[in-house]
Structure 1
Amino acid sequence: MTVSMLGPPSTAPAPTFAHLVRLSDDTGLFEHARHGVVRRGHGYCTDDVARGLVVTAREPEPSATVTGLTERYLGFLTHAQAADGTFHNRLGYDRRWRDEPGLGDWWGRAIWGLGTAAARSPAPWVREEARTAFALGAARRSPAPRAMAFAGLGAAEVLRADPGDPVAGALLSDAARAVVGGAPPYPLMGVDWFWPDDRLTYANAALAEVVIAAGRYDGDASLLATGLRMLGWLRDLQTRDGRLSVVPVAGWRRGGPRPRYDQQPIEVAALADACVTAAGATGDPSWEVTLRRCVGWFLGENDAGAPMWDPETGGGFDGLTAAGPNLNQGAESTLAFVATLQHARRWS
Structure 2
Amino acid sequence: MTDEVGLFEHADGAIPRREHGYCVDDVARGLMVLCREPFPSEAAIELSGRYLTFLAHAQGPDGSFHNRLGYDRSWHDRPATGDWWGRALWGLGTAAAGSSAPWIRDAALGFFERGAHHRPIHLRAMAFAALGAAQVLTFEPTHRLARALLADAALAIGTARTDQPVRDEDWPWPQTRLAYGNATLPEVLLMAGHLLGDEEALARGLAMLGWLMDVESNDGHFSPTPVGGRGTAERQPGFDQQPIELAALADACATAFAITAEPRWAAGVRLAAAWFAGDNDAGTVMYDPVTGGGYDGLTAVGRNANQGAESTLALLSTLQQDRRLRTENP
Instruction: Please give the range of the TM-score, normalised by the shorter of the 2 chains.
Output: over 0.9
1:77 maps to: 55
- Counterpart pick for 2:64 among 81, 86, 108: 86
* Cross-structure match for 2:94: 116
Query: In 2, distance between residues paired with 1:230 and 1:310?
Result: 33
Q: Tell me what 1:255 maps to.
A: 233
Is this contact kept in 1: 2:9–2:22, CA < 8 A?
yes
User: 1:194 Cα deviation (Å)?
Assistant: 1.2
SS of residue matched to 2:298: strand
CA separation of 1:57 and 1:281: change in aligned 2, threshold 3 A: same
TM-score of the two chains, using structure 2 as the length reference: 0.96
Q: How does 1:44-55 map to 2 (within 5 A)?
A: 44-55=22-33
**Whole-Å separation in 2 of the counterparts to 1:195 and 1:180:** 10
| Whole-angstrom CA distance in 1 between matches of 2:126 and 2:190 | 14
Find out whether 1:38 has 2:13 as its counterpart: no
Once the two structures are superposed, residues 248-307 of structure 1 have per-residue CA deviations (whole angstroms, 9 ceiling, x without a partner) of 101112234656110000000000000011111211111001111001000111111111
**Inter-partner Cα distance in structure 2 for 1:200 and 1:44:** 28
Whole-Å separation in 2 of the counterparts to 1:311 and 1:186: 47
Instruction: Please give the alpha-carbon distance, in whole angstroms, between the structure 1 residues aligned to 2:160 and 2:86.
Output: 19
Q: CA deviation at 1:247?
A: 0.7
Structure 1 residues 183 and 241, CA, compared in 2 at 3 Å: closer, same or farther? closer
Q: Is the CA contact (8 Å cut-off) linking 1:189 and 1:196 kept in structure 2?
A: no
Which residue of the partner structure matches residue 7 of structure 1?
A: none
1:325 counterpart SS class: strand
| 1:297 aligned residue (254, 275, 278) | 275
- The amino acid of 1:347's aligned partner reads R
Q: 2:85 aligns with which of 90, 100, 107?
A: 107
Deviation of 1:240 after TM superposition, in Å, equals 1.0
Q: Deviations over 1:190-217 (max 9, x none)?
A: 3210100001111100011011111111
- Contact 1:115–1:134 at 8 Å: present in 2 too? yes
Aligned to 1:334: 312
Residue of structure 2 in register with 1:28 after alignment: 6
Q: Could you tell me how far apart the structure 1 residues matched to 2:97 and 2:18 are?
A: 32
Report the residue type matching 2:326 in the other structure. W
Segment drifting more, 120-129 vs 62-71: 62-71
- Check whether the contact 2:8–2:18 (CA below 8 A) recurs between aligned residues: yes
Deviations 1:126-175 (A, max 9, x none): 00000000000111111111000000000000111111111111111111
Q: How large is the Cα RMSD of the aligned pairs? A: 1.7
Instruction: Indicate yes or no: 2:231 matched with 1:246.
Output: no
Q: Residues of 2 paired with 1:226 and 1:135: CA distance?
A: 28
Distance in 1, Cα, partners of 2:242 & 2:228 = 10
Question: How far apart are residue 184 of structure 1 and its match?
Answer: 8.7
Asked if structure 1 preserves the Cα contact closer than 8 Å seen for 2:160 and 2:174, the reply is: no
Match of 1:62? 40
**Distance across 2 between alignment mates of 1:119 and 1:218:** 17
Counterpart of 2:122 in structure 1 is 144
Tell me the distance in 2 between the aligned counterparts of 1:256 and 1:315.
Answer: 31
In structure 2, the partner of 1:15 is none
Is the CA contact (8 Å cut-off) linking 2:82 and 2:125 kept in structure 1? yes
Structure 1 spans left out of the alignment, 5+ residues: 1-22
Aligned to 1:161: 139
Q: CA deviation at 1:182?
A: 7.0
Q: Which residue of 2 aligns with 1:14?
A: none
Match of 1:192 in 2: 170
Please report how far the alpha carbon of residue 68 of structure 1 lies from its aligned counterpart in structure 2 after TM superposition: 1.6
Distance in 1, Cα, partners of 2:113 & 2:265 = 32
| Shift in alpha-carbon separation, 1:185–1:57, aligned structure 2, 3 A | same
2:159 matched residue in structure 1: 181
Conserved 8 A contact 1:188-1:194: no
Mapped contact 1:188–1:198 kept (Cα < 8 A) = no
Whichever residue aligns with residue 297 of structure 1, its letter is: W
Percent identity over the alignment?
A: 56
Superposition deviation, residue 113 in structure 1 = 0.3
Deviations 1:62-121 (A, max 9, x none): 112211211111000000000100000000000000000000000000000000000000
Letter matched to residue 80 of structure 2: G
Q: Which amino acid aligns with 1:126?
A: I
State the alpha-carbon separation in 2 of the partners of residues 136 and 28 from structure 1. 21
